[in-house]
Structure 1
Amino acid sequence: MRNVRLFWQIFPTSVGITLFSMALAAWLATTTGRGFFIDHLKEEIHERAVLIASTISRLSQGGNEEFQEFVRQTGRRAATRITVIDGDGTVLADSNEDHALMDNHGRRPEVILALAGDTGYSLRHSRTLGESMLYAAIPLQLGTDGHRGALRLALAVTPIETMLSGLQNRMLGIALAISLLAGLLSVYSARRISRPLERMKQGAEQLTRGRLDQLVKIDSAHMSVEMAGLANSINQMAEQINRRVRIIIQQRNELEAVFSSMADAVVAIDADSRIIRMNQAAATLFALPSESVKGKAIQGVIRNPYILEMVELTLKHNTQQEQKVTLFKGAEPIMLETHAVPLRDEENRSMGVLLVMNDLTKLNRLENIRQDFVANVSHELKTPITAIKGYVETLLDGALDDEDNARRFLNIVVRQANRLDAIVDDLLTLSRIEDRQGREEIQLTVGEVGPVLESALQTCAVNADEKDIIIEVECDEELYAPINQPLLEQAVINLLNNAIAYSPHGTLITLRCQGSRTVQGERQIQLSVIDNGPGIAREHLPRLFERFYRCDRARSRDMGGTGLGLAIVKHIAHAHKGTVEVESTPGKGSTFTITLPGLAPLVPEPEDEL
């Protein structure tokens, strides 16, 4: 059934009931009024007939001319048509017409009743007078022989019908006016009812569209009790829905934030093995856009057979699956600890799979670094300890009596102890830098870089002079950066000492500091140590800044290095929000460069004039 507006449900009914009521009232009024008037005329005309019946009976015995004149005069004075009819239906006299020319009236209904001894009435249209007439006929004694006749009187009812017709027209006009008023009242009532309903509809539509910021508050001040109750219920429902939807949105945003920020790769899959969601970590892992894969089959996105088998088993058995899976990004293996967890609806039925992949590659790499670090520390510490222990035992076994050997052994013990002390100092330095960097306690102060280089150069001058090495400084003027002067000086000293240790006698080392700009136009400072040593093979460069990593262990140990100097340089550079890089060509030397974020030169404030 087609829906219609409320106005068209109220208006036709109201107008129809009004018109029907007025039509019924008009019909009752006209029919009742007509019957009342007709009955009244019947009584009146009967009384008139009775009054003149005796006179007409008496005159009918005399001369005909007197009888005819009486009938005419009486009819005119009474405004009533009088007709005297013989028993055979012959008209004996008539107040309006010539009785000799009139038809036989024996077949008239009222005459038939009157000749039969009763009073007869009839209401019909008179062809002679051309209007509706009410006829009343009573029995009448005629002549001396007393034979039966009929006295008929007739009154025109046209004025009554005209009056009733006018009454009907007036009632019709009143009915139309009342119908119009009913229509206006219907419009008013329909609008008064429909406007709150329209407001309720708008509020419901805004709820369905999620427009929680523009909810319609329905005013129930001028409504009926029922409508006000409905409006208040809708207002309360809207407030509850608004509150619950906001809670749901907040929870969804929280879950979305957690889902997006998870370091683990997460993929949600439906019961048809199609991807529902994929977080950024998973998109990065599989090198896919997270949005475009929605709705696609998992087989076309993730092609690892082990992961696909886990998803299939989880969907089939509705149980959790765990497995370590190895992926390859190019030639680099990626170790994943993979969990496939079934997704269930409110009735605990399977509706999909949540695939969680934890990347263990970095953890394994860190574990390997830790193991290497422990092994290297143990080895580096064990070497001088073993040497010290061996020479001390030799001295205790009797070499102490040989003064020359005893002195030589003790010098070796002192040298190994110094090496052990240097390793411990470097480990403590590295630990302090990492600890302070983790707590962001390294204070950086804007200062000029040139004085730092001069201090480092003075510290390393003795070692350079022992090998006749010249250190040439090339530094731009007024280079400023946020620095921690002791730490930056330590980094430069470590680089210079490495360069001195590996450079041949009488060669040149260049300490260069120059300003530059990035592609984005930001200032930076590049601090480089350039030597002419043997250089470093390409395969050693990626791991050169790891703890205890040595290109040539025997040679490095002979030179007294701890294997921690470049690791300390890397952490100091990171503490300054910078980087350290190395470029080297075997047989042509190496260049170590620390890059720091720079600042514009400070402009001194003008002194106050005296």
Structure 2
Amino acid sequence: MTRRRPLFWQIFPVNLLIILCTVFAISWFATTTFKTFYYDQMVLDIEARALLLEQKILDLIMESQDALQNFCRRTGRRAQTRITVIAPDGVVLADSNEDPQRMEKHGRRSEITSAFSGQTGSSLRFSKTLQQDMFYVAIPLQLSPANTPGALRLSVPATALNTVLHTIRNRVFLASLTTILLAAIFSRTLALRISRPLEQIKQGAEQLSSGEKNRLVTLHEHGLSLEMISLINSLNQMAEQLIERIIFTSRQHNELEAVFSSMTEAVLAVDAEECVIRLNRAAGRLFRIDPQIGKETLVQGVVRNTALMEMIRHTLRGNVCTEDKIEIFDGQQRTTLEVRVVPLQDNARQPIGALMVMDDVTRIHRLENVRRDFVANVSHELKTPITVIKGYVETLLDGGIDAHEDGTTFLRIVLRQAGRLDAIIDDLLSLSRIEATTDNQETTLDLTREKLCPVLRAALQTCELKALEKNIRLELHCPSELKALHNPALLEEAMVNLLSNAITYSSSDAFVGIRAQSRQENSKKKWVEITVQDTGCGIQREHLDRIFERFYRCDKARSRESGGTGLGLAIVKHIAQSHGGTVEVESQFGKGSTFTLKLPG
């Protein structure tokens, strides 16, 4: 006769074994995955650093070996990254940590071999030079179009990875141990509950099936059962599952409805007959229609765009995904959309319609154009003085230095152009700092309500010498008690820029004046207006809308002769915005200009 074991011992060991295997497998997988992920992220990060340095390294290789070594040492120390430049034959040209002349050839290292073949190489190994584990990433460095590429290698210590992995292993071990203990407790509790007396289950099932109860059967435990459960209350399970499914379906419907309505992307669903099934609020705003539009409406009456209709029909006909970038015009402005249309299928995977998702990328494109223009302008402004400096230095090297008078003249020109470069960089740094203060909500500009006269008088004193050189008369009209909410240093910088422009573009014996006064636009809001007026050459009407753009010049030749960087008015604009104010300009060509800075009172 076969000995029958209690049901508890048939369930508890199996469940515990399964949980143990699952916990160990998940722990191993999580640790391995994180290590791989962290390694890949480190490789991508170091590769990005290398790509940023690539062009500078190539320029320095062509310049001199010492300049390359100095750059690698300086940059490597600041970035806490070891930088190594390797020639195609494996010879180290420069290294941020060691003397390259004393280093052995690196051509056989795995990451260098990959770089020589034109690919990015990486490795993690122990460095004999630094006596620690290091990440190495090397990219190809095309020293000459006809030759085998060299390599630019960056490396950082792997201490962080080892520390993180050690911490994660400890935490995973503790979590696994806790999970196993809890699983053992829960499995034991579950096994005890399953092994309730068979008679109680049968009685509860009979009462439920006969209608004596309208709820699930509740079993009262009196101890462990030694018998296998021979009957499961099917009605109890069906009732419980039905209740859970109803609750789950209702909750899921509400969640999907909330997500669909709050999506920033425009979403439109159509059926196989090209009739609208659903659209969210974003789609309603995009197409200027009511989101509650009926199902009978044809999609042509909603979209009204040939390219979008063609994408929908292509998806409906071929049951394939379609992606494209579409530009639509609503009569007032153009909107650029990234559109993706995917087929809708039923449970049998049969096509029943299409779902179109549209993301408005107009602003992103506009910002990209601004970024591209800014980079082009900066490159042009920097290249001009660099070209001049390079030309005169080459002339001096070719023998011009032997002629004392010409050499002195050339050096003065080089000094002037270097000063212009320094001015451009200073203005760029100032503009970046002011923009960061304006855009970053977490950074608060230190504004105080103080008198304006000291700030305006300080700006006049700064520009007084420049005005005396042209015999220009400066005047200030400002009530002594006039106050405004401002940052004195930034406001003085803005006024110096406006005064310098006025003096630069005014003729000799002219007049430049500053006037400050209080204004009240309505019963609540007060403003302080600071105007800078000159009687100079003025600005043509077609330039007024763009005068505050970076590097925009009305008269490029005259601006460069005067030493201007093209950033002064852009700085003034961002200083005004950082104060919560504005700057405006009025000008008549040939008669002068008036710049008005408005600040909160």
Output the TM-score relative to the length of structure 2. Answer: 0.55
The equivalent residue for 1:444 is 446
1:176-210 alpha-carbon deviations (Å, 9 max, x no partner):
xxxxxxxxxxxxxxxxxxxxxxxxxxxxxxxxxxx
- Aligned-CA RMSD value: 3.3
* Alpha carbons of structure 1 residues 424 and 333: separation in structure 2 relative to 1, 3 Å: same
The equivalent residue for 1:337 is 338
Matched, 1:499 2:502: yes
SS in 1 for 2:517: strand
Question: Is the Cα–Cα contact under 8 Å of residues 533 and 590 in structure 1 kept in the other structure?
Answer: yes
Question: Is the Cα–Cα contact under 8 Å of residues 444 and 482 in structure 1 kept in the other structure?
Answer: no
Q: Distance in 1 between matches of 2:487 and 2:500?
A: 20
Q: Distance in 1 between matches of 2:502 and 2:529?
A: 17
Question: Is the Cα–Cα contact under 8 Å of residues 534 and 594 in structure 2 kept in the other structure?
Answer: yes
* Alpha carbons of structure 1 residues 372 and 245: separation in structure 2 relative to 1, 3 Å: same
Letter in 2 for 1:425: D
**Which of 587, 591, 599 pairs up with 1:584?**
587
The equivalent residue for 2:525 is 522
Q: 1:554 Cα shift?
A: 0.9
Aligned positions of 1:533-572 closer than 5 A = 533-572=536-575
The equivalent residue for 1:52 is none
Aligned positions of 1:201-216 closer than 5 A = none
Q: 1:339 Cα shift?
A: 1.7
Q: Distance in 1 between matches of 2:430 and 2:412?
A: 27
SS in 1 for 2:378: helix
The equivalent residue for 2:261 is 256
The equivalent residue for 1:460 is 463
Letter in 2 for 1:559: S
SS in 2 for 1:441: coil
Question: Is the Cα–Cα contact under 8 Å of residues 293 and 301 in structure 1 kept in the other structure?
Answer: no
1:194-228 alpha-carbon deviations (Å, 9 max, x no partner):
xxxxxxxxxxxxxxxxxxxxxxxxxxxxxx99777
SS in 2 for 1:498: helix
Aligned positions of 1:299-338 closer than 5 A = 299-330=300-331, 333-338=334-339
The equivalent residue for 2:84 is none
* Alpha carbons of structure 1 residues 510 and 313: separation in structure 2 relative to 1, 3 Å: same
Q: 1:420 Cα shift?
A: 0.9
Q: Distance in 2 between matches of 1:356 and 1:419?
A: 50
Q: Distance in 2 between matches of 1:273 and 1:453?
A: 67
* Alpha carbons of structure 1 residues 322 and 525: separation in structure 2 relative to 1, 3 Å: same
Q: 1:477 Cα shift?
A: 5.7
* Alpha carbons of structure 1 residues 528 and 243: separation in structure 2 relative to 1, 3 Å: farther
Question: Is the Cα–Cα contact under 8 Å of residues 261 and 280 in structure 2 kept in the other structure?
Answer: no
Letter in 1 for 2:214: L
Letter in 1 for 2:267: V
Q: Sequence identity of aligned pairs in percent?
A: 49
The equivalent residue for 1:594 is 597
The equivalent residue for 1:388 is 389
Q: Distance in 1 between matches of 2:456 and 2:294?
A: 57
Q: Distance in 1 between matches of 2:446 and 2:346?
A: 55
Question: Is the Cα–Cα contact under 8 Å of residues 476 and 515 in structure 1 kept in the other structure?
Answer: no
* Alpha carbons of structure 1 residues 567 and 281: separation in structure 2 relative to 1, 3 Å: farther
* Alpha carbons of structure 1 residues 290 and 474: separation in structure 2 relative to 1, 3 Å: farther
Q: 1:244 Cα shift?
A: 5.8
Matched, 1:229 2:234: no
Unpaired segments ≥5 residues, structure 1? 1-223, 599-610
* Alpha carbons of structure 1 residues 425 and 316: separation in structure 2 relative to 1, 3 Å: same
Q: 1:330 Cα shift?
A: 4.6
Q: 1:423 Cα shift?
A: 0.8
SS in 2 for 1:337: strand
* Alpha carbons of structure 1 residues 343 and 560: separation in structure 2 relative to 1, 3 Å: same
Q: Distance in 1 between matches of 2:512 and 2:466?
A: 13
Q: Distance in 2 between matches of 1:231 and 1:554?
A: 91
SS in 2 for 1:230: coil
Aligned positions of 1:118-137 closer than 5 A = none
Aligned positions of 1:49-68 closer than 5 A = none
Aligned length, in residue pairs:
371
Letter in 2 for 1:474: H
Q: Distance in 2 between matches of 1:228 and 1:522?
A: 75
1:117-174 alpha-carbon deviations (Å, 9 max, x no partner):
xxxxxxxxxxxxxxxxxxxxxxxxxxxxxxxxxxxxxxxxxxxxxxxxxxxxxxxxxx
* Alpha carbons of structure 1 residues 524 and 238: separation in structure 2 relative to 1, 3 Å: farther
Q: Distance in 2 between matches of 1:294 and 1:558?
A: 67
1:59-114 alpha-carbon deviations (Å, 9 max, x no partner):
xxxxxxxxxxxxxxxxxxxxxxxxxxxxxxxxxxxxxxxxxxxxxxxxxxxxxxxx
1:249-303 alpha-carbon deviations (Å, 9 max, x no partner):
345324432x1xx1x44333344434445455544544x1444655543212322
SS in 2 for 1:355: strand
* Alpha carbons of structure 1 residues 255 and 301: separation in structure 2 relative to 1, 3 Å: closer
1:35-64 alpha-carbon deviations (Å, 9 max, x no partner):
xxxxxxxxxxxxxxxxxxxxxxxxxxxxxx
Question: Is the Cα–Cα contact under 8 Å of residues 445 and 482 in structure 1 kept in the other structure?
Answer: yes
Q: 1:433 Cα shift?
A: 2.4
Question: Is the Cα–Cα contact under 8 Å of residues 444 and 576 in structure 1 kept in the other structure?
Answer: no
Letter in 1 for 2:250: V
Q: 1:586 Cα shift?
A: 2.3
Matched, 1:413 2:397: no
The equivalent residue for 1:574 is 577
Question: Is the Cα–Cα contact under 8 Å of residues 260 and 280 in structure 2 kept in the other structure?
Answer: no
1:296-331 alpha-carbon deviations (Å, 9 max, x no partner):
432123222111111122223222112232333558
Aligned positions of 1:2-13 closer than 5 A = none
Question: Is the Cα–Cα contact under 8 Å of residues 530 and 596 in structure 2 kept in the other structure?
Answer: yes
The equivalent residue for 1:376 is 377
Letter in 2 for 1:453: L
* Alpha carbons of structure 1 residues 584 and 394: separation in structure 2 relative to 1, 3 Å: same
Q: 1:390 Cα shift?
A: 1.7
Unpaired segments ≥5 residues, structure 2? 1-207, 217-235
Aligned positions of 1:346-357 closer than 5 A = 346-357=347-358
Output the TM-score relative to the length of structure 1. Answer: 0.54
Letter in 1 for 2:316: L
